RNA sequence: GGGGGAGUGUCCCGAGCGGCAAAGGGGGCGGACUGUAAAUCCGCUGGCUUACGCCUUCGUAGGUUCGAGUCCUACCUCCCCCA
């Protein structure tokens, strides 16, 4: 069904990664005849990447699998500015120390998805702080700024929407697109990078880079954007009670990560398998054909495969096993999140309210009270009906833990130490 | 510089005659139904409290009042118009 001749575009298109491509024929031809270096920018405004970053990371993965060179760019410099795209409010400005700390913890994630190092397709990581931080303002204006038309910049969605909605857009943020365009050129100079990929909201920024490349180097750059991924019911992906779905294990356990995928809506299963796992397409076809309750099998495969991409095969299988014992056999899974409690404290008895707050299942005593009123609280699978109930040593099971449950899905173990 | 408008529950949007823990959505969480799905229906969605109740919250700081999100003053931030 795909009209592309190159492996690279074929794979991306058939798995649903492509929203827009500039000059598709030329890019297709280039991908067939040479090794492309392509970059995607990631900002460092949070200490971990989350699910929203997964799509671009997968694009880099496939880029490498099809023989090309991925170039993840850390926005060490641009994070100091903040991209106004899709935002009504200015982002908080981060300190350089924050940015560097974030950058460091993000870096490890990439190694899971692509091979770094030598060889023609070995991935390279760059940081735009390396060139942006030392720019000379006047030189930059003369060399780069003169190629930008304010008239045109005002017509870009990222700017236009802010202005139309009467939201403040600072000069600092207004410059973001210029810096991103400059990044593209700089990566071309340093690494011969000719393709920039990103989310669909990046189209305007990328196109600016293409223009600048043509003006400064008479070079043909390319843009490729991925669709914005929403769930079948229209919600933005990756929002849960506790916030974002993080990729770092210390922000979100592999078990919880597995659960996130396990709870995918039926209608999203096939699409997510294509986007977020590396299963063969014919295998995905087979799974997608499952009907009714059988599709749960596909969801488990999705969960395990997607978790394995980020946390490794063994952690993924452990999460799957824990889910199986917990949900299908009514037992205790070993990788359920656990919270340690001093044995003496448990001996004295902890009120249910405090116990659930301590376990992180609720934010306040009141929240636990309401949950009890809603029949949602269980200790060792026994429903709690009074907020005066005590969790003590008697509740420690043969496994040496106390199982606290909020609803049927959220479980935390209390482990005496 | 002059004139007009706006800022509401720490997720968002948004109503709010001086009696307000503050309408209504969305989102989220829980329950029922299911398949750890969707849809639907129901409940919850500031903190402490067994409870009466107490405390904290409507841009900031004061004031009027028995009582202020609501009225007054000053200040901060944003928007629009005029210069």
Q: Say how far apart CA A205 and CA A101 lie, in whole Å.
A: 26
* pLDDT of amino acid A57: 92
CA A294 remoteness from chain centre: 28
**Are A379 and A349 contacting, i.e. CB atoms less than 8 angstroms apart?**
no
pTM, rounded to two decimals: 0.85
- Taking CA A145 as the corner, what is the angle to CA A27 and CA A217, rounded to the nearest 5 degrees? 35
Q: Say how far apart CA A78 and CA A176 lie, in whole Å.
A: 7
139-178 of chain A touching strand B, CB 7 A cut-off: 166-168
Q: What is the mean pLDDT of residues A44-69?
A: 86
Q: What is the CB neighbour count within 10 angstroms for residue A121?
A: 19
Kindly indicate whether the ipTM for this predicted assembly is greater than 0.85, answering yes or no.
no
A371 Cβ nearer than 7 Å to chain B strand: yes
Task: Tell me which residue of A86, A110, A81 sits closest to A161, measured CA to CA.
Answer: A86
Average pLDDT, chain A: 85
* pLDDT of amino acid A71: 95
3-class secondary structure, A269:
helix
Which nucleotides on chain B have any atom < 7 A from a protein Cβ? 27-32, 34-39, 43-51, 78-80
Q: Is A166 a catalytic residue?
A: no
* pLDDT of amino acid A242: 52
Per-residue pLDDT for A65 more than 90?
yes
Q: Which residues pair with A126 in a beta bridge?
A: A73
pLDDT tens for A362-416 read: 888 999 999 998 889 999 988 898 888 899 888 888 888 899 999 888 899 998 9
Split at pLDDT 50, 70, 90, the class of A250 is confident
Q: Is A160 a catalytic residue?
A: no
Q: Which two tokens stand for residue A342?
A: 């001093």
3-class secondary structure, A12:
helix
Task: Tell me which residue of A345, A343, A387 sits closest to A362, measured CA to CA.
Answer: A387
| Nucleotide in closest CA–C1' contact with A89 | B78
Dihedral sign (CA A105, A109, A115, A120): negative
């Amino acid at each position: 069904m795909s009209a592309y001749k190159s492996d690279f575009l074929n794979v991306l298109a058939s798995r649903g990664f492509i929203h827009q491509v500039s000059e598709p024929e030329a890019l297709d031809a280039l991908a067939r005849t040479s090794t492309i270096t392509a970059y995607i920018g990631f900002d460092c405004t949070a200490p971990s990447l989350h699910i929203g970053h997964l799509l671009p990371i997968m694009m880099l993965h496939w880029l490498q699998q099809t023989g090309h060179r991925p170039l993840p760019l850390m926005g060490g410099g641009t994070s100091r500015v903040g991209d106004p795209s899709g935002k009504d409010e200015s982002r908080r400005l981060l300190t350089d120390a924050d940015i560097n700390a974030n950058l460091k913890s993000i870096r490890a994630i990439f190694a899971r998805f692509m091979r770094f190092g030598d060889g023609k397709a070995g991935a390279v990581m760059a940081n735009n702080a390396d060139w942006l931080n030392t720019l000379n303002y006047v030189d930059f204006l003369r060399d780069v700024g003169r190629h930008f038309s304010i008239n045109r910049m005002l017509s870009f969605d990222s700017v236009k929407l802010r202005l139309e909605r009467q939201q403040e857009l600072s000069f600092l943020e207004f410059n973001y697109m210029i810096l991103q365009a400059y990044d593209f050129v700089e990566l071309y100079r340093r690494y011969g990078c000719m393709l920039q990929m990103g989310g669909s909201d990046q189209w305007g920024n990328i196109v600016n880079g293409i223009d600048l490349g043509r003006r400064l180097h008479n070079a043909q750059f390319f843009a490729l954007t991925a669709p914005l991924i929403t769930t079948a019911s229209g919600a933005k992906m990756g929002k849960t009670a506790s916030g974002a779905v993080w990729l770092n294990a210390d922000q979100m356990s592999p078990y919880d990560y597995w659960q996130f995928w396990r709870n995918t809506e039926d209608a999203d299963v096939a699409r997510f398998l294509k986007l977020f796992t590396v299963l063969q397409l014919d295998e995905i076809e087979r799974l997608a054909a499952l009907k009714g309750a059988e599709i749960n099998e596909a969801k488990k495969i999705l969960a395990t495969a997607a978790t394995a991409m980020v946390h490794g095969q063994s952690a993924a299988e452990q999460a799957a096993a824990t889910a199986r014992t917990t949900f299908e056999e009514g037992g205790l899974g070993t990788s359920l999140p656990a919270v340690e409690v001093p044995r003496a404290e448990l001996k004295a008895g902890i009120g249910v309210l405090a116990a659930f707050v301590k376990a992180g299942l609720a934010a306040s005593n009141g929240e636990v009270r309401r949950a009890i009123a809603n029949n949602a609280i269980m200790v060792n699978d026994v429903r709690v009906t009074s907020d005066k109930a005590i969790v003590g040593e008697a509740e420690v099971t043969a496994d040496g833990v106390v199982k606290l449950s909020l609803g049927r899905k959220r479980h935390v173990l209390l482990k005496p130490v």
